Structure 1
Amino acid sequence: MSVIEIKDLHASVETNEGRKQILKGVNLTINSNETHAIMGPNGSGKSTLAYTLAGHPKYEVDSGEVLLDGVDILTMTPDERAQAGLFLAMQYPVEVPGVPMTNFLRTAKTAVDGEAPAIRQWTKDLTAAMKNLRMDPKFATRSVNEGFSGGEKKRAEVLQLELLKPKFAILDETDSGLDVDALRIVSEGVNRAKANTGLGIMMVTHYTRILKYIKPDIVHVFADGHIVETAGPELADYLEENGYDKYLPEGATESAQA
């Protein structure tokens, strides 16, 4: 059993108008085998939370702690956070021309585990994972995300998730840009990873459609840089019907928050 604890996290980013505080006291605890959905209006800081946890250099932590099994990961580099068991599935996966997927995946697995996987077992695991995600075997020889469709990029993210076997996964709007079939396949991959490893999940999303496939244990509303309400899955249904207006600062609209 593992646990990640976010304690009074404040973070800011440099803008053209100067430094702007985005995270304003985030408190959240996620245990192994739990799925937490983070929902909220555009511009509320959900993606900033995801990238701050992963160690993106653009975001500066002003105060607070993030403990993974009692160790503060904020003192770690991004690769050290990955080795500690943290994984980020990006909303917009980047292309890496000239680096074949198979080389990238095996290098990542070696870096996270501290030793290279045995070739025969690795080949077996990679083939099985790609088959489960309905990925053409030719994708293994293509450059990372180069020329991939949106759905193919998201499948590649979940392929990494299944092979790297982290303790906790941050899914930053994994449902964006997916058609119904791709959404189902990607969701099945996430559910499979959770069932096989006891993965803890923090899933950032605007909409409830992915929650029909990846069932959350807890739903949080994120607004103005922090969590403003927490409840069970029924909260997502309320948000689907009523939107986020009640959580916005007085006089603001969701479009103005974007």
Structure 2
Amino acid sequence: MTTLEIRDLRVSVATGETHKEILRGVDLTINSGETHAIMGPNGSGKSTLAYAVAGHPKYEVTGGQVLLDGEDVLAMGVDQRAQAGLFLAMQYPVEVPGVSVSNFLRTAKTAIDGEAPKLRHWVKDVKVAMENLRMDSSFADRNVNEGFSGGEKKRHEILQLELLQPKIAILDETDSGLDVDALRVVSEGVNRVKENTGLGVMLITHYTRILRYISPDYVHVFVGGRVAESGGRDLADRLEEEGYDRFLQAAV
């Protein structure tokens, strides 16, 4: 059992010569095998939460704790967080010119495991994972995300998830920019990893459409840099009908 504990997390971002507080005391616990949907309007701090936990240097943690199985995540470097079992699927995956997908994936796997995967088994694993995600084998020879469509970038993120097998995955608006077919394939990939490894998932999204394919155990409404309300799938259905107005009014 793996547990990610976020306790009273407070995070600021530099804006010119001043700092603006974005997260104002976030409390959240994610265990192995659980899917937590984080839903909220633009500017509520959802992506800030994702990047702060992952260790992006732009975000300054000013208070609180992040613990992975009792270990202080905030004391770790970005690479150490990945080695410990954290994974971030970015909302806007970056291009890496000159680095092929195949080299990138094997280098990442080697860095996380501490040793290079056996080539014969690795090639087979990559092939199977790409087939599962309906990715043409030619993608392995292309530069990372260079010239990829939005859907191709998101499939590549889930390809990494399948091959690296982290303990906790933070999926930052993985559904954005996806058509119905790509959304289904990507969701199937997340569900497959969760079923096979007991993955814990923090699923950040605006909309309920991805929740048709990835069923959440918990739904958290994120407004004003903190969790305003938590519940089950029925809370997401209410948000679909009512929107976020009542939470925004209460946060004023």
Place the TM-score, normalised by the shorter chain, in its bin: over 0.9
CA deviations on 1:120-164 (whole Å, 9 max, x unpaired) are: 000000000000000000000000000000000000000000000
Q: What is residue 245 of structure 1 aligned with on the other side?
A: 245
Asked whether the equivalents of residues 37 and 203 of structure 1 are also in contact (C-alpha less than 8 Å), the reply is yes
CA deviations on 1:153-187 (whole Å, 9 max, x unpaired) are: 00000000000000000000000000000000000
Q: Does 1:232 align with 2:232?
A: yes
Alpha-carbon spacing, 1:251–1:114, altered in 2? closer, same or farther (3 Å): closer
- 1:1-258 matches, within 5 Å, as 1-16=1-16, 18-249=18-249
Structure 1 segments (4+ residues) deviating >3 Å: 249-252
Q: Calculate percent identity across the aligned residue pairs.
A: 72
Q: How many correspondences in the alignment?
A: 252
In the TM superposition, residue 18 of structure 1 has moved relative to its aligned partner by 1.5
**Cα distance in structure 1, aligned partners of 2:226 and 2:17:** 22
- Give the TM-score, by structure 2 length: 0.99
**Cα distance in structure 2, aligned partners of 1:42 and 1:145:** 25
Counterpart AA for 2:145: N
In the TM superposition, residue 17 of structure 1 has moved relative to its aligned partner by 6.0
**Cα distance in structure 2, aligned partners of 1:198 and 1:138:** 30
**Cα distance in structure 2, aligned partners of 1:67 and 1:52:** 13
Q: Which runs of 5+ in 1 are unaligned?
A: 253-258
In the TM superposition, residue 208 of structure 1 has moved relative to its aligned partner by 0.2
- Give the TM-score, by structure 1 length: 0.96
SS in 1 for 2:228: strand
Give RMSD over aligned pairs.
Answer: 1.0
SS in 1 for 2:230: strand
Asked whether the equivalents of residues 224 and 249 of structure 1 are also in contact (C-alpha less than 8 Å), the reply is no
Asked whether the equivalents of residues 224 and 251 of structure 2 are also in contact (C-alpha less than 8 Å), the reply is no
Counterpart AA for 2:80: E
**Cα distance in structure 2, aligned partners of 1:85 and 1:66:** 13
Alpha-carbon spacing, 1:251–1:52, altered in 2? closer, same or farther (3 Å): closer
CA deviations on 1:98-134 (whole Å, 9 max, x unpaired) are: 1000000000000011110000000000000000000
Q: What is residue 255 of structure 1 aligned with on the other side?
A: none
In the TM superposition, residue 251 of structure 1 has moved relative to its aligned partner by 9.2
